[in-house]
Structure 1
Amino acid sequence: MLSDDLGDKLGIWKPELTTTKAEESTLETTKAAGKPTADDKNATKQRKMRDRSELVPYTFAGRSLRIREIQVSMEEEVGYKVWHAGEAFCEYLDGGNLDLVDKTILELGAGTGIVGIVASLMGADVTLTDLREVLWNLEENVRRNTEGCRHTPKVQELTWGKGLDRFSDKSYDFIIGTDIIYFEELHRDLIFTIKQLSRPHTRVLLCHYPRWPSRDKRFLELLQKDFDIVNQCKFLTARLFEAKRISKR
């Protein structure tokens, strides 16, 4: 197990997080009362997660990778483990199916970061995003495995449907996601996010493990209100489909 100050030793960057005056006031009140703050609770949670984590070896893009994974159940935070679709998507990229050199990629729900890491190793300019609570592990995995990449990968916080203006001035060649349609209650926010951050030329590539065909069908029907499904296939144990925004007529 790696020590708690690994991030400091590696010089891992942290996303810039801002707080409102109301949040600062609440934080000061909590500290004054001697109660644990949200940061304290997060630090405790991270220590517990490190205790049940391991560095799992993978080989993609001609590199030996070590990805920190944490044993979780499907009811817990799913962003700490490489799932079947993640490995399948990495195999797909590693097989040379896409020309990624100098392409800009936005990854949604990056989780452990393995797919974005492989894309970065293959020459892409990658921005990996996920919820704040998983960024510490995502950042460590990215820093540990992307030395010498053509473009330095970026890690940013992104909650689907919120704060999208921080990304709206950028143009991405690809928007990718792996096993991100698992929670049906997030489908609308996910599709809204993809729509807002894509351009007519953007290729949207989503890879998932087909657990519930009826749920997957409902997602695709919702997606097709704004996107054309231009290609779909089965790859290893996963399904991969490509979508592009419907041109305004």
Structure 2
Amino acid sequence: MLSEYSKDGGGKGEEELEESEMLEVEGLGLYKGKVRIVRSEEAAEEIMLLWGLQQPILSKHNVFVHQSSPQLHIDACGRSLSILQSPSSLGTPGVTGAVMWDSGVVLGKFLEHAVECRKVLLQEKKVVELGSGCGLVGCITALLGADVVLTDLPDRLRLLKKNVVANLYGDVRGSAIVKELTWGDDLDQDLHYPLPDYVLGSDVIYSEQAVMDLLATLLDLCGTHTTVMLAGELRNDAILEYFLEAALKDFIVGCINQEQWHPDYRSQRVVIYIMVKK
């Protein structure tokens, strides 16, 4: 649902929003910061805007990660996290989640910053992360107080579990478990009941088939109270446009401006979208 965002402090419905000239709203779903709404007929215009403003192909690739390294070290939530990677798997066809991408680092640090700024409350919230990969985002989310279910394909779980055990030790405000999940398949009951407060994903939009399976899972996971946050690498404009066109049929979609990200973790090659079910 849309939070209050009109100039006089009142809320508007989706129909009024589409008729308004104001594109930026105060809050969407459980997120309390500013959001630029993507209108249902403007997927192509959104792509032109992103590529025009951010010019991702002119920006440096992998600023925050080193994919050739077996480990990624990053400070978050008062800890020094050490995330194992599998660089040897990077070139294997069909294998995903073996290494970190900038979008995962950006999303994790965005959540930390948003909690500090009180724009996001994660304490005791149920969170499901899709395509957890190496697990950085899920680990940070658990350290911020959420009860997190990190999910990925069966062949990715071994590395994911290692990183959860290695980084979530001692006094952790939240909790984390690892579960197998193939997008498009039926959900296990513990994922579906109760429905999560948040669904997170980074670098999960990468092919047309993956888009349809991802959206099918999002529709199954989301109730009207669920807030989806997806961070992605700006590398394929056609696939992102395809995703937005499909997502806008069932979700209100907004883009979070980089001014609200962690000041030290911003990239012109990354975008963060927030979604709530219509």
Q: TM-score, normalised by structure 1?
A: 0.74
In 2, Cα distance between equivalents of 1:228 and 1:56: 34
1:127 has 2:149 as partner: yes
After TM superposition, give the deviation of residue 164 of structure 1 in Å.
1.1
Distance 1:138 1:90 in 2: 16
Tell me the number of residue pairs that the alignment of Structure 1 and Structure 2 aligns.
195
Q: Does 1:141 align with 2:163?
A: yes
What is aligned with 2:177? 154
Distance 1:127 1:165 in 2: 12
Provide the secondary structure at the position in 1 that maps to 2:85.
Answer: strand
Matched-pair contact (CA < 8 Å) for 1:94–1:118: yes
Q: Distance in 2 between the 1:119 and 1:133 partners?
A: 23
Q: Structure 2: 5+ residue runs without aligned partners?
A: 1-67
Structure-2 separation of matches of 1:53 and 1:136: 18
1:185 and 2:217 correspond? no
Which of these two proteins has the greater Rg computed from alpha carbons? 1
Partner of 2:185: helix, strand, or coil? coil
Q: Deviations over 1:109-137 (max 9, x none)?
A: 00000001001111111100000001000
Q: Deviations over 1:63-122 (max 9, x none)?
A: 101110111138452201110101111221121342211111000000000001001111
Larger mean Cα displacement after TM superposition, 95-104 or 214-223: 95-104
State how far apart, in whole Å, the 1-side matches of 2:164 and 2:207 are: 25
Change (3 A) 1:126 1:57: same
Q: 1:74 to 1:118 in 2, by over 3 A?
A: farther
Deviations, residues 166-219 of structure 1 (Å, cap 9, x unaligned): 322222110010000112221111101000111101001110011112221110
Counterparts of 2:103 and 2:93 in 1: how far apart (Å)? 18
- Distance (Å, rounded) in 1 between the aligned partners of 2:86 and 2:187: 29
Relative to structure 1, is the Cα distance of residues 244 and 210 closer, same or farther in structure 2, using a 3 angstrom cutoff? same
1:220 and 2:244 matched = yes
Runs of 5+ in structure 1 lacking a partner?
1-51
Say whether residues 1:204 and 2:222 are aligned partners.
Answer: no
Partner of 2:140: 118
Report the counterpart of residue 73 of structure 1 in structure 2: 91
Give how far 1:232 is off: 3.5
Equivalent residue for 1:100?
A: 122
> Which residue identity lines up with residue 61 of structure 1 in the other structure?
C
Where in structure 2 are the equivalents of 1:25-64 lying within 5 Å?
54-64=70-80
TM-score, length basis structure 2? 0.66
What is the Cα deviation at residue 245 of structure 1? 0.4
> What is the aligned partner in structure 2 of residue 168 from structure 1?
192
| Distance change (3 Å), C-alpha of 1:244 and 1:170 | same
SS at match of 2:124: coil
Give the letter aligned to residue 241 of structure 1. Answer: Y
**Structure 2 counterpart SS, 1:56:** strand
Q: Distance in 1 between matches of 2:233 and 2:92?
A: 13
User: Is the CA contact 1:85–1:179 (under 8 Å) kept in the aligned structure 2?
Assistant: yes
Q: Report the identity percentage.
A: 32
Taking the aligned partners of 2:217 and 2:85, their CA distance within structure 1 comes to: 27
SS at match of 1:136: helix
